[in-house]
Each structure stands twice: as structure tokens, then as C-alpha cells.
Amino acid sequence: MATVSRALNNRSEVSAATREKVVRIADELGYRPNASARALVRRRSDTIGLIWGTDYVHIGRRQPFLLDVLVGIKVALDSAGAHLAILSTGGDEQDFVRAAREHTIGGVVVMGVDSAHPGVASLLSERLPSVAFDVPMLGPSARYVTSDNRGGAGAAVDHLHELGHRRIATIAGPAGMHASDERLQGFADRAAGLGLALGEGAVQYGDFFLQSGYDAMRRLLELPERPTGVVVQGDEMAIGALHAIADAGLQAPRDISIVGFDDIESAALVRPALTTIAQDDVAIGAAILDELRALMDRGDGEEGVPEARLLPTSLVVRESTGPAPA
């Protein structure tokens, strides 16, 4: 029994000839390992748990790019032959860990929460293998994957500057969220590097949803000197901004150029089609699973160097940007 178990688990103690014989007979008998039994013996399974804060401010609202990332994770899971379980959690700080332990989860993916959530600290203290997207979790058993938010925001400023825009504003996401803060910093750093003076009111805030982009754009249009170019730090907000421009009797990009961020599916479907900073959802999903499997496969006594995995962004030029008005 021990030899069969080692052979089916690809253990190095079994010779190639023995492994081949065991696998052949298992196939002939139609044998399939009992995943639940294996999980009980090993005290963990190969199933990945997903903790997704589906937005504590707007319960039930869609988060288009996180849905794209989830598809990217599924693509990676399909290639690895692994499974994903969505974990239901409440507000208690131990819920993250409790849900994972109750289901013998081997590792956890965290999305859509901020680093201040008490469940994040709980995961770190329990040393449960965990990888977050856009949540700065670092520890002996924790990593996070993020896109180059600063570089992407800077590229958006460069694009508008090259088109002749000098009055450039931004609609940022909520302060305190990792991606929001990084994108705003990237915008500010590049604007300063180009010698652009940001006037009063040039930075407006939204919540990554469409209505907040609409409202923030209306505030920008009311400025004494309205901007000619706006970097909107999320595509849904950027689509809201396009609606506000149209409702004000203006046109993009004739009167105001708009650059979004994320490259969600609807960015190419609106009119004008949205120029945006693209994140690669499939690459993000693959990176998340790669980092998590590495943590899960590591021995309990092994210590790694905590670090983030940074993925590149790219500028996708469509119809919503053009030369600055004369």
C-alpha cells in the first residue's frame, strides 16, 4: 500500500519501472484517488480557496476587472488540474482562516479587500499559504501580485503630454487602497517630472464605479480652467466621465481627452472607444497561482524572502484621446 501511494504521488523513493507498473494497473482498474481522504491525511488539499471582498461599500456591485482576473485564475487552474472554492466569510477577523481550515484548503487567493481588513492579519499570523491581488500582503507564507500601477499612470500622462495637453487632471480611486494610491502617485510623479502644474481641483476622487466617475467629471468641468486631458484611474469611472462630457454638450476627444485604466471588455465597446492602460488578466491569474503553488509546495520549515510580483502594463490607444484643443 505504501509503495502504491508513493507511486501515485510521484514520490522520488519509487523507481520509474515500479511507478509505471502501478499507474498502468490503476488505469486498468479505473482507480481514482479520493481527494477528501488525501486531504485528511495530508491536512491540506490541492483546492485553492478564494476570498473575494465583493466590495463592502457597494454590496453586490460588479467589479469588472476582478472578474477578468478570476477568469485568468481559472485558466491557470485548468492548466494545473486544480480546483477553486469560493469561501464565504463574514466580518469576524478569524473568518478567513476558519473558512480555509474547515474546508482543508491548501492555499488562499485574496482579492477585493484592503490591507487593513483584520482577516489579512489573521492569515499572516496563521502562516496559511496566501497570495493576494493588489493587497500588500507579505510574510513567510504570503505574497501579493500587482500590476505596475505607477508606471501605467505615468504612461497615461506621457500619452496626453505627447498630444499637446498641458492642463491634465485625474480621477483617482478611493484613498487607502493599494492600486488607487499607486496610480495617483504615478500620475503625480510623472506630472511633476514633465513640469506640469496641477491646479486646484485637478485631483478628484471616485470609488471605481461608473457614477463616481460621472460625478467627478462634472466637478472637473466646473473648474475655472477645465482640463483638456484627464487620466481616470479605472475604466468604469472613465466611462462615467465620458457620459458626463456628453451630457455637458461636449465631445471627447475634441474638447477633452480621456485615458482609463484596466482595459475591461466594455472599454472597446463604448463610443468613443476608450484609450486605456491595460492589465493582463491571464498573466495575473497565472502569476497568482504560480506564487501560491510555490508556497504550498514549500516545506513547513522553509523560509522564503517576502516580495511582491510586479507585472507590466501597456497603453492601448483608441478613440477617446486626441490632440489638445487650440
Name 110's bridge partners: 51, 132
Q: Write down the pLDDT at residue 60.
A: 46
**Which tens digit of pLDDT belongs to each residue from 148-177?**
999 999 999 999 999 999 999 999 999 988
Q: How far is the C-alpha of 169 from the C-alpha of 187, rounded, in Å? A: 9
In 3D space, the residue among 133, 146, 315, 145 whose CA is nearest the CA of residue 231 turns out to be 315
Mean pLDDT of 84-113: 73
Q: Write down the pLDDT at residue 112.
A: 79
Q: Which of 41-50, 148-157, 263-272 shows the lowest mean pLDDT across its residues? A: 41-50
Secondary-structure percent of the chain, ordered helix, strand, coil, rounded to 5: 45, 15, 40
Q: How far is the C-alpha of 282 from the C-alpha of 276, rounded, in Å? A: 17
Comparing 214 with 116, the larger pLDDT belongs to 214
Place of cell 462630457: 245
Q: Write down the pLDDT at residue 42.
A: 46
Q: Write down the pLDDT at residue 88.
A: 66
Mean pLDDT of 70-77: 86
Q: Write down the pLDDT at residue 96.
A: 67
Q: Kindly report the CA angle at 238 between 250 and 169, in degrees rounded to 5? A: 75
Strongest mean pLDDT among 4-8, 68-72, 109-113, 228-232 = 228-232
Q: Write down the pLDDT at residue 253.
A: 97
Q: How far is the C-alpha of 7 from the C-alpha of 206, rounded, in Å? A: 55
